[in-house]
Structure 1
Amino acid sequence: MIELTEFGQLRGARITAQLPRPDMERRIAAFLRHGNVCVLATCLNDVPRATPIEYYSDGLTIFVAASRATKIKNLEGNPRVGVAIYSTPYTDWTDWDRVIGLQMTGEVELLRYNEQPEAYAAALEIYDWRKYRRALGKPDREPRKTTIVKIQPMKIEFRDLAALREGYAALQIWERDQTSTM
């Protein structure tokens, strides 16, 4: 007879408790700071596009930089996006407590230097454009042709299997219409 593992017992317990909102926001923000690559999903005229792209975060807000490519054209026509970020090792499920990731539904604001120089400059304080310029061997001149995409979350589905050990559901749901501390 096979004995249930700790993971099997916790999953079988059907834990549904949500973290207190400030704790959930802190955990999500910490997770966002930990990584820097997401998949940004856009859609226009019923044609979806999913783009792996570098990001930087400030609290629960995500910033990406993009040239005038398909994703920007999509965002000009439809400002709603999906974002997926995960930090999950290849698992044989012995390391189940390291499975963590999120899906975000959000709305974007397109920041351009020539239209909103102050908001653009503030976004560049968060988005570390210098790393990319240095990798290209270019001087640290502030980019002015790039569009900064500011993504404000509407809903975040945060999955952290380690939360089961603390008595909380593995899936935590954050929604913007509630009072946010971030």
Structure 2
Amino acid sequence: MPLTNPWLAEPMPAGRMPRERLEERIRNLLSSQNMCVLATAGPDGPLATPVRYYSLGLAVMFTAAPRSPKVRNIAADPRVSIGIFAPLVGLASSRGAQLFGSARVLAPADPERVAYWEAFRWESEHAERGRPVSEPPRDTLVVLDPVRIVYTEHWLRRDGFAARQFWRRA
């Protein structure tokens, strides 16, 4: 029987992508999706929360209520993992990333927030909530600048690269 994607057959390639190409693939994934699953650890155990996010480079950010369980968990232990994936229609389309690091909760007055906030597309969320788009929100911003990323894309096998690639902050 003919294979639609013969490059998916064994053996699996083991090649590593050059760092610049890998970062480009990761940025493409982050900028083409808008939902992730944030994993935190709390007093009752793990918490996996779907959140709408925005990206800036390899950083992922989202707003959160200061008293939400995810923010309480981050305050107690900032180590988080974020999972992002594209819709799956078959093995050839499998594409996603796991980002690891310490999340930072930036209050509205935090000067670090400005650099991230410019990339945050808050207007559509404001419109959904019936808020005026003339006034930017003063919400708490959660940012993950990852220290490690595990990127998976089976299409990479076509070019002799392993489907799973590993990135670490330099």
Q: Taking structure 2 as the reference length, what is the TM-score of the superposition?
A: 0.91
Is the partner of 2:143 in helix, strand or coil? strand
RMSD of the TM alignment (CA)? 1.7
Is the partner of 1:162 in helix, strand or coil? helix
The one of 63, 82, 88 equivalent to 1:65 is 63
| CA deviation string 1:16-70 (max 9, x = no partner) | 1110001100110111000110000110236111110011111111111101200
Unaligned runs of 5+ in 2: none
Q: For 1:83-122, list aligned pairs within 5 A.
A: 83-89=82-88, 91=89, 93=90, 96-114=91-109, 116=110, 118-122=111-115
1:82 and 2:85 correspond: no
- Measured in 2, the distance between the counterparts of 1:53 and 1:77 equals 20
The one of 132, 135, 147 equivalent to 2:128 is 135
- Measured in 2, the distance between the counterparts of 1:4 and 1:155 equals 39
Unaligned runs of 5+ in 1: none
Moved over 6 A (4+): none
Shift of 1:14: 2.4
Q: For 1:158-169, list aligned pairs within 5 A.
A: 158-169=151-162
Q: Which residue of 2 aligns with 1:49?
A: 47
Relative to 1, partners in 2 of residues 1:154 and 1:11: Cα closer, same or farther, differing over 3 Å?
farther
- Measured in 1, the distance between the counterparts of 2:7 and 2:95 equals 19
- Measured in 1, the distance between the counterparts of 2:32 and 2:7 equals 29
Shift of 1:13: 1.7
Instruction: Indicate the percent of aligned positions where both proteins have the same amino acid.
Output: 31
Is the partner of 2:118 in helix, strand or coil? helix
For 1:15, the aligned partner's letter is P
| CA deviation string 1:73-94 (max 9, x = no partner) | 00001001011111132x3x4x
The one of 134, 149, 154 equivalent to 1:156 is 149
Q: Taking structure 1 as the reference length, what is the TM-score of the superposition?
A: 0.85
Is the partner of 2:39 in helix, strand or coil? strand
- Measured in 2, the distance between the counterparts of 1:4 and 1:14 equals 19
Paired residues of 1:84 and 1:101 also in contact (CA < 8 A)? yes
Is the partner of 1:25 in helix, strand or coil? helix
- Measured in 2, the distance between the counterparts of 1:174 and 1:11 equals 25
Paired residues of 1:88 and 1:101 also in contact (CA < 8 A)? no
- Measured in 1, the distance between the counterparts of 2:8 and 2:121 equals 40
- Measured in 1, the distance between the counterparts of 2:29 and 2:55 equals 10
